[in-house]
Chains A and B, each alone.
Chain A
């Protein structure tokens, strides 16, 4: 089973994500430069965090026009699991693959801190191993992480069960404390916090088991082959 990690100019969590997918979860993983296409035999795609194009104009907006996004879109339509983390989430909303926008944090500052997530939808390919409302200790690191949608879309999100993660307390002013959402089909998930920074006990000061379930869910969904 093959996972693709997309690399944009300015991605900086690609190596961390690759390490977690390969060394921690033993998934066959390959990097894909944003100017290349994705092969047909990919089983999941991850858009990692970073500062694609130096966050110029607006975080994620230039990368959303990269050649590879065409293929990501096709994969999304085919129902293949796609995860966007931090800048990857910003790219997914900017490319219209996920609803909403990510605005500057209420503090107007970059924020790097540990927080707790609550799982609100345990049916996606990245959350199927969680109990509903399970708590995940996890770090955030972003300047533009405040999720926003208009009232009508918010109603739809709730109705379609598209809110995947919420912060357990107010962190950055996100609407409804939303930290992650999915598309209507549930196969495309975006989240601001960094699961790849929380799955190893060495660097997780609280508990690395909950965040590991994000990757265990993916393995459950796509299977593993050694």
Chain B
């Protein structure tokens, strides 16, 4: 956990002397992969980050989108993978805490949390089950206590995460544009540390997260205290209302080292600080420890001397710590003292800007043969196969997870978790929709098309609620970037995301890169997770309850794209095949058509076709609406395929629409006009899910029985070890 030799000599030549031990600690934290993005930064620039709604301000940790009428939405995504793999409860909880403070830093109130969780095979692996259970409790205990609703996310299990965990947390904030913190500093301004005391937890956390996980270094994991975080949120927002904050930054990875150097660098100033002024949990902490501790629930605030008294009063009201630790200088130095003695004195641009790497990349050899399929034993009973998929951990209902999260607090949640995307009401009468999606199975088979698929799936989910995508968050999680084959998969995913973002005009408003995600048996599969934010102008008319006689229509072609599908991987235990590919033109046409059908009130419910394919998507509609449906597979548009491929292919850009029969003609004419591929494939009614091919019955399952299995299999597995 220190600088590499070449980095050390670079530091020496930049400052012209040997660094002190405190300086070494500071630079090692800030130059870690986690804080500096040294492997990825030069490539991340390819993503489009501007757009008509994007508001840019220096020093923001979150993206800001203008949603009209003087209001803004902020968004950010983070992960806490390494800590969660060692201590899932604290790791996941502090992951929530960190991203919430990023939202707060811009001066907006956090209004929603999303979680993407990934673990090993919980059917076999007890460690994975333990990690899963405790990560969920960690998120629940933290988010619930803050009173911020957790309204969406995803849970996935794959053997590539054995003995490991991916815990991604995204958050949204909301506020008035005029209340955004315009980060700036004036002469004689002071630097204040607000919130929890600095202790010995999370020492070296950012370096820990920038390494492969070899030893279980629990002391590097931060300790959560959601109660303090809640007090900080209220104190900061009150200070914001009173105009007491000139600039603000949350303390995350790298602790004070990063917060001080990055604030100074962003504001083009110097900061002089005294570690003796920092309120600490223990009395004998060394300056090095104080500078790199990642104790949670702390905010760095730049304010003026005249405003200090009011700020102190607010902190006193909430009983949170408030220490003046330093002052603003105009020498571009980060000067750390203990009393009168200097422990570090470094140029801020040296600290805040690690030398960027240009790592080599090479196409992985495994990709050369990955598309080749093998011969499978024919399925004898598709009803059984579908039931097995609906009970599988990746597809089974996640109500056991989101039922533990308060998803109603804040009284904004219009569309609750469990639907395609959650919808929140905003104070200006508009509605916000958001979803995060990942698909490591497809990304492993084709890093570029897989990543695009995640992006399109998140868009589809948001579109299903009637919202137009306005911004995207990307979280890129890969193994050791020094392996050229892994770095190649990173670059391919990034290029794919960039192409999609540019073509669809969706700016990237925030993101995160997490590398060195390695398990004892090797790197994780490439796991980009994409969050999409959408906006709806008036109250969404979907979803409405589906009733007897309503029609089922599919938009989009079903193709021979079985690679990475649950059918191949879960049923046939086969990794490989052709990865689903998004056709940008079709994707745009389909999105546009769905949005106008919803806008014209022609449909009751729209559902995206993804994991488990058409068979699972239809089943989900029937189970959530508690009504049967008869589907003719021979009518499904697309390639001419065998029934198993029609049922379970995970081709993108497909939507299921449920609507009243009387609207059929109008819907068909709109879709024909837009030159969309579509077909009415079924009708709702009865109490069974039925799929037939011409006259032959393929699947027949009772909705209620299937629903029970789908609802209960995940809790049964987690709590009792069986489905």
Contacts and interface: CB of A to CB of B under 8 A. Distances in A.
Interface string B85-126: 000000000000000000000000000000000000000000
A139 B149 CA distance: 13
A101 interface: no
Interface string B207-247: 00000000000000000011100110000000000000000
A54 interface: yes
A49 B409 CA distance: 9
B404 interface: yes
A111 to B, nearest CB: 6
A112 B405 contact: yes
Contacts of A16: 409-411
A55 B145 contact: yes
Contacts of B341: none
Contact of B227 (A56, A139, A200, A205): A56
User: Which of A19, A110, A197 lies at the interface centre, i.e. has the most chain B CB atoms within 10 A of its CB?
Assistant: A110
Contacts of B409: 12-13, 16, 49, 141, 197
B540 to A, nearest CB: 10
A139 B231 CA distance: 26
Contacts of B144: 51, 110, 141, 143
B146 interface: yes
B408 A51 contact: no
A10 B425 contact: no
B412 to A, nearest CB: 7
A202 B425 contact: yes
Given A12-B230, A51-B144, A54-B145, A141 B406 contact: yes
Contact of B403 (A20, A33, A112, A205): A112
Interface string A185-214: 000000000101100101101000000000
Nearest to A196: B411
Given A200-B411, A203-B414, A12 B147 contact: yes
A54 B408 contact: no
A192 B419 CA distance: 26
Nearest to A199: B411
A50 interface: yes
Contacts of A10: 145, 227, 230-231
User: Interface size class for chain B?
Assistant: 20 to 34
B40 interface: no
Contact of A112 (B141, B146, B225, B408): B408
A121 B460 CA distance: 48
Contacts of B588: none
Nearest to A141: B406
B407 A203 contact: no
Contacts of A141: 144, 406, 408-409
B414 A202 contact: yes
B22 interface: no
B225 A54 contact: yes
Contacts of B225: 54
B89 to A, nearest CB: 14
A143 B425 CA distance: 26
Contacts, number: 80
B411 A203 contact: yes
A12 B146 contact: yes
Contacts of B413: 203
B187 interface: no
Given A10-B227, A110-B140, A110-B406, A51 B412 contact: no
B377 interface: no
A55 B140 CA distance: 14
Contacts of B414: 202-203
A49 B137 CA distance: 20
A152 B407 CA distance: 37
A9 B425 contact: no
Nearest to B146: A12
Nearest to A197: B408
A57 to B, nearest CB: 12
A20 B425 CA distance: 15
B108 to A, nearest CB: 15
User: Which of B144, B403, B411, B414 lies at the interface centre, i.e. has the most chain A CB atoms within 10 A of its CB?
Assistant: B411
Interface in A44-86: 49-51, 53-56
B640 interface: no
Interface string A121-150: 000000000000000000101010000000
Contact of B411 (A19, A33, A111, A205): A19
Given A10-B230, A112-B405, A141-B406, A197 B319 contact: no
A13 B318 CA distance: 17
Given A12-B147, A56-B227, A112 B407 contact: yes
B404 A112 contact: yes
Given A10-B230, A12-B147, A110-B140, A203 B425 contact: yes
A19 B412 CA distance: 12
A16 B226 CA distance: 20
A83 B141 CA distance: 25
Interface string B135-163: 00100110011110000000000000000
A49 B144 CA distance: 11
A216 B23 CA distance: 64
Given A111-B403, A112-B404, A51 B411 contact: no
Contacts of A113: 403
A56 B402 CA distance: 23
Interface in B349-366: none
A9 B404 contact: no
B416 interface: yes
A115 to B, nearest CB: 12
Contacts of B230: 9-10, 12, 51, 54
Interface in B370-420: 402-414, 416
Contacts of A55: 145
Given A10-B227, A12-B230, A51-B227, A203 B412 contact: yes
Interface of A: 9-10, 12-13, 16, 19-20, 33, 49-51, 53-56, 109-113, 139, 141, 143, 194, 196-197, 200, 202-203, 205
Given A51-B145, A51-B227, 9 more contacts: A9-B230, A10-B145, A12-B147, A16-B411, A19-B411, A49-B409, A55-B145, A139-B408, A141-B144
5 contacts: A9-B227, A10-B227, A110-B404, A197-B409, A205-B416
Q: Which 10 A-B pairs have the closest CB atoms?
A: A12-B147, A54-B227, A51-B145, A141-B406, A16-B411, A197-B408, A110-B404, A112-B406, A139-B408, A109-B404
